[in-house]
């Protein structure tokens, strides 16, 4: 009986420690999508590649920083969650994921930077 009580106490203690750890917080991921303008197509991929190349991988960027070239609109957005700084490399990686995943080279993908609504968007612009 004593062993069962000790094991129960150990399990409860471990669970309490895990749930009270402030560094462990569940974050809902942004709903990645390949949506965009009806004019999205691979014809503006080279513009998007140029926009991506204009991002400094070592710099820090903030909400609504954009890097548009030609018919490609590229922006980092937090959807009102605050500044949430993000590295240029994260923007580059996220934008490249959109290009390699989305058949029409448009979409919005999470930056996975502890912000549930932060994302990079590639879209067509006139």
Each residue of 16-73: pLDDT tens digit? Answer: 333 344 343 445 568 999 999 999 999 999 999 999 999 999 999 999 999 999 999 9
- CATH C-level class of 29-124: alpha beta
Per-residue pLDDT reduced to its tens digit, 84-124: 999 999 999 999 999 999 999 999 999 999 899 999 999 99
Q: Is 10 helix (H, G, I), strand (E, B) or coil?
A: helix
Q: Is the Cβ–Cβ distance between 48 and 75 less than 8 Å?
A: no
Query: Six-digit token pair at 58?
Result: 């070592």
Q: Which contiguous run of DSSP H or E holds residue 5?
A: helix 2-20
Q: Is the Cβ–Cβ distance between 63 and 82 less than 8 Å?
A: yes
């Amino acid at each position: 009986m004593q062993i069962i009580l000790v094991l129960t106490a150990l399990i409860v203690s471990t669970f309490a420690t895990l749930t009270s750890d402030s560094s462990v917080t569940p974050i809902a991921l942004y709903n990645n999508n390949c949506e965009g303008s009806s004019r999205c197509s691979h014809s503006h991929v080279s513009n998007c590649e140029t926009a991506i190349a204009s991002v400094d991988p070592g710099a820090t960027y903030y909400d609504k920083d954009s890097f548009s070239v030609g018919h490609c609109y590229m922006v980092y957005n937090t959807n009102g969650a605050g500044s949430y700084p993000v590295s240029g490399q994260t923007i580059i990686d996220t934008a490249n994921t959109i290009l390699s995943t989305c058949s029409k080279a448009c979409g919005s993908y999470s930056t996975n930077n502890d912000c549930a609504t932060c994302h990079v968007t590639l879209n067509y612009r006139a």
